[in-house]
A and B are shown apart, each in its own frame.
Chain A
């Protein structure tokens, strides 16, 4: 079947009323999750994961992915109206988006963000449609050494691109990998670090760790007096940008879409990096860079487009290679595995309805989000007026219920609570918990493929350098590590530039 036949199959799945309904619920919840402080896409997806247990794999992944890319849309609303990033990728939108709002152009900024997100999201899905299937076919040639090299590359990429330093990211990734070693060793049957707790025999689940670190951890770090509920919704007629604003946003949206998709494929906090890079590019190519920070249209259009394209780009390695590029795709992968659908090269051939139905649903989902985010912005803003003192206890309740329902295990709830405290302390010590979750997810695959590689080569470690694909992947690792060391020696990498940009625009 060619790509159009496959897409037709996908749309025949995506337009089924039940799949449409779950896609809509995902987009709606995602928009709310993106807007509300204290709950990001990862916590939102993790908390709602148990709800999908009764659904088939297609409906489950369509709904959960809707939450992910819906949150990228929703994050812009609080950034523009309140200068509070509902989720991390919206930080750059705060700068010029809120400046536009102060000049009375809140409606125009929201419209540009929504249209830019729609165009970038759709572009991302088109690229995903074109890139993922051939990449999956290529990945069928991968054996254990190639998978080992690929996972190591993923970790090195993450360390290189992460929002904190190389050493801090590697520490978090190692901690996650170690947590992933807990439980019964599948090759020898040894119990590792289970301390006679039988629930730990199967290892530590991704959901309690992710909900604890990102859901509860965020709530513990956010006292209610710091969250404002004073926000004025724009009127519907104020939503139309002027002709000049449309013209100023066209090229940044195009650049942000391409840049975002490319960055999205790379492991790391892709959508956060994409929005920063887009902001930096737009400021550099602008004829009036002095307007940035004072309400430049390009400062909203570029980053918002980039973070949406990046969130779609992140699905390429997840679907084609079975490689999560961040904690959100890691949880989505876990969701597919729970439903008996392993993501990776076999997905396209073994489960075409899930693969193409999911891709087609993203085309539809982007349209839904455009329709949701513009006319209903007033309604969403009213939800922001719910006092945080009532909102966060509700989120904690959903965290407890959601985590408990995964395995009907109170041990999971305790792990979530411990991880909440760990997440709070990690923030204090300036660690990004995302690599920890990624390490936890890839630990079993990395360990299995590493040991299989060594066994099949009778202990000859040069197997990783004698097979062309593995050698090429490890060569890229080497280049990235050298670049990391060089930027560390020059004490001037993109992380410092990000800090400078944010500080400079305040």
Chain B
């Protein structure tokens, strides 16, 4: 059997639904006259698994899994990694340092733009954003261990 897109999608929702249902055992279902905290989630999980199974059964109409174009992963992967590192450093380093480093990495390392424009852009854009959010709109941005 050729693995198709909807085999993966449908199978995922069936397995995910079953897994969440398994960890929902502590939630009371209640009765119709007194519905518990678990009633709606369990009904939804049941429906999700049924719909996932329908998708799986009709997967023959979907394109083969190998036909999905993953060429943009070379862009997506470094971008999400840099964003995650910036998020991890956001409160520790503070807004100015974390965001200017993120912009620099994305522009210089990921997009391979020239060094000086990348530095100027990273610092300039971050300082401008800081001026708008922290100074003009008085929004509390994290300062971090460096104090800014």
Residues of A within 8 A of B (CB): 50-51, 53-54, 167-168, 170-171, 174-175, 177-178, 181, 185, 187-188, 190, 192-193, 216, 219-224, 226, 389-390, 392-394, 396-398, 400-401, 404-405, 408, 410, 413-414, 417, 420-421, 424, 428-431, 446-447, 450-451, 454-455, 458-461
15 A-B contact pairs sorted by A residue (CB < 8 Å): A170-B47, A190-B38, A192-B41, A216-B83, A223-B75, A389-B107, A389-B113, A392-B79, A393-B106, A396-B79, A396-B106, A404-B141, A410-B91, A414-B87, A417-B83
Bound CA–CA A461/B33 (angstroms): 9
**Contact across chains for B52 and A417 when beta carbons are under 8 A apart:** no
**Contact across chains for A174 and B47 when beta carbons are under 8 A apart:** yes
**Contact across chains for A170 and B90 when beta carbons are under 8 A apart:** no
**Contact across chains for B107 and A170 when beta carbons are under 8 A apart:** no
Q: If A224-B75, A397-B129, A459-B31 touch, does A188 touch B83 (CB 8 Å cutoff)? A: no
Q: Which B residues, 31 to 74, have Cβ-Cβ distances below 8 Å to chain A?
A: 31-41, 44-45, 47-48, 51-52, 54-55, 58, 62, 68, 70-72, 74
Chain B 1-32 interface mask (CB, 8 Å, partner A; 1/0): 00001101100010000001001100110011
Bound CA–CA A193/B142 (angstroms): 29
Nearest CB of chain B from residue A291's CB, rounded to whole Å: 33
Bound CA–CA A424/B68 (angstroms): 13
Q: How many residues of B contact A (CB 8 A)?
A: 65
Q: If A50-B139, A188-B36 touch, does A400 touch B86 (CB 8 Å cutoff)? A: yes
Nearest CB of chain B from residue A78's CB, rounded to whole Å: 20
Partner of B13, one of A171, A219, A451: A171
**Contact across chains for B133 and A401 when beta carbons are under 8 A apart:** yes
Partner of B5, one of A392, A400, A429: A429
Closest A residue to B138 by beta carbon equals: A54
Interface of A is mostly: helix
Nearest CB of chain B from residue A367's CB, rounded to whole Å: 27
**Contact across chains for B54 and A167 when beta carbons are under 8 A apart:** yes
Q: If A429-B9, A454-B33 touch, does A171 touch B48 (CB 8 Å cutoff)? A: yes
Bound CA–CA A429/B20 (angstroms): 21
Nearest CB of chain B from residue A410's CB, rounded to whole Å: 6
Q: If A171-B51, A224-B75 touch, does A400 touch B137 (CB 8 Å cutoff)? A: no
Bound CA–CA A460/B35 (angstroms): 12
Given pairs A220-B75, A429-B9, A450-B40, 14 additional interface contacts (CB within 8 A): A171-B51, A188-B36, A190-B38, A192-B37, A193-B24, A222-B75, A223-B74, A397-B102, A400-B86, A404-B142, A430-B62, A454-B32, A459-B34, A461-B32
Q: List residues of chain A with CB within 8 A of the CB of B76.
A: 220-221, 424
Q: If A413-B90, A451-B39 touch, does A430 touch B5 (CB 8 Å cutoff)? A: yes
Q: List residues of chain B with CB within 8 A of the CB of A454.
A: 32-33, 35
Q: List residues of chain B with CB within 8 A of the CB of A177.
A: 40, 44
**Contact across chains for B87 and A224 when beta carbons are under 8 A apart:** no
Nearest CB of chain B from residue A449's CB, rounded to whole Å: 11
Q: Tell me whether B135 is interfacial, beta carbon within 8 Å.
A: no
Bound CA–CA A480/B121 (angstroms): 53
Closest B residue to A168 by beta carbon equals: B55
Q: List residues of chain A with CB within 8 A of the CB of B147.
A: none
Q: If A187-B37, A220-B80, A417-B87 touch, does A393 touch B48 (CB 8 Å cutoff)? A: no
**Contact across chains for A393 and B102 when beta carbons are under 8 A apart:** yes
**Contact across chains for A167 and B33 when beta carbons are under 8 A apart:** no
Q: Which B residues, 117 to 140, have Cβ-Cβ distances below 8 Å to chain A?
A: 121, 125-126, 129, 133, 137-140
Partner of B72, one of A222, A390, A392, A447: A222
**Contact across chains for B68 and A413 when beta carbons are under 8 A apart:** no
**Contact across chains for B40 and A394 when beta carbons are under 8 A apart:** no
Q: Which B residues, 76 to 106, have Cβ-Cβ distances below 8 Å to chain A?
A: 76, 79-80, 83-84, 86-87, 90-91, 95, 99, 102-103, 106
**Contact across chains for A223 and B72 when beta carbons are under 8 A apart:** yes
Q: List residues of chain B with CB within 8 A of the CB of A447.
A: 40
Closest A residue to B106 by beta carbon equals: A393
**Contact across chains for A167 and B44 when beta carbons are under 8 A apart:** no
**Contact across chains for A190 and B37 when beta carbons are under 8 A apart:** yes
Bound CA–CA A170/B6 (angstroms): 15
Nearest CB of chain A from residue B99's CB, rounded to whole Å: 5
Q: List residues of chain A with CB within 8 A of the CB of B129.
A: 397-398, 401
Nearest CB of chain B from residue A191's CB, rounded to whole Å: 9
Bound CA–CA A447/B39 (angstroms): 9
Bound CA–CA A148/B54 (angstroms): 26
Q: List residues of chain B with CB within 8 A of the CB of A455.
A: 33-35
**Contact across chains for A417 and B99 when beta carbons are under 8 A apart:** no
Bound CA–CA A53/B111 (angstroms): 35
**Contact across chains for B139 and A405 when beta carbons are under 8 A apart:** yes
Closest A residue to B72 by beta carbon equals: A223
**Contact across chains for B87 and A413 when beta carbons are under 8 A apart:** yes
Bound CA–CA A194/B106 (angstroms): 33
**Contact across chains for A181 and B40 when beta carbons are under 8 A apart:** yes
Partner of B33, one of A187, A226, A413, A458: A458
Nearest CB of chain A from residue B92's CB, rounded to whole Å: 10
**Contact across chains for B121 and A390 when beta carbons are under 8 A apart:** yes
Enumerate the 4 nearest inter-chain pairs by beta-carbon distance, A residue then B residue, closest first: A459-B33, A459-B32, A223-B75, A190-B37
Q: List residues of chain B with CB within 8 A of the CB of A193.
A: 20, 23-24, 41
Bound CA–CA A398/B137 (angstroms): 14
Nearest CB of chain A from residue B84's CB, rounded to whole Å: 6
**Contact across chains for A190 and B27 when beta carbons are under 8 A apart:** yes
Partner of A167, one of B28, B31, B51, B83: B51
Q: List residues of chain B with CB within 8 A of the CB of A174.
A: 44, 47-48, 51
**Contact across chains for B126 and A397 when beta carbons are under 8 A apart:** yes
Q: If A171-B55, A178-B45, A224-B111 touch, does A394 touch B125 (CB 8 Å cutoff)? A: yes
Bound CA–CA A220/B78 (angstroms): 9
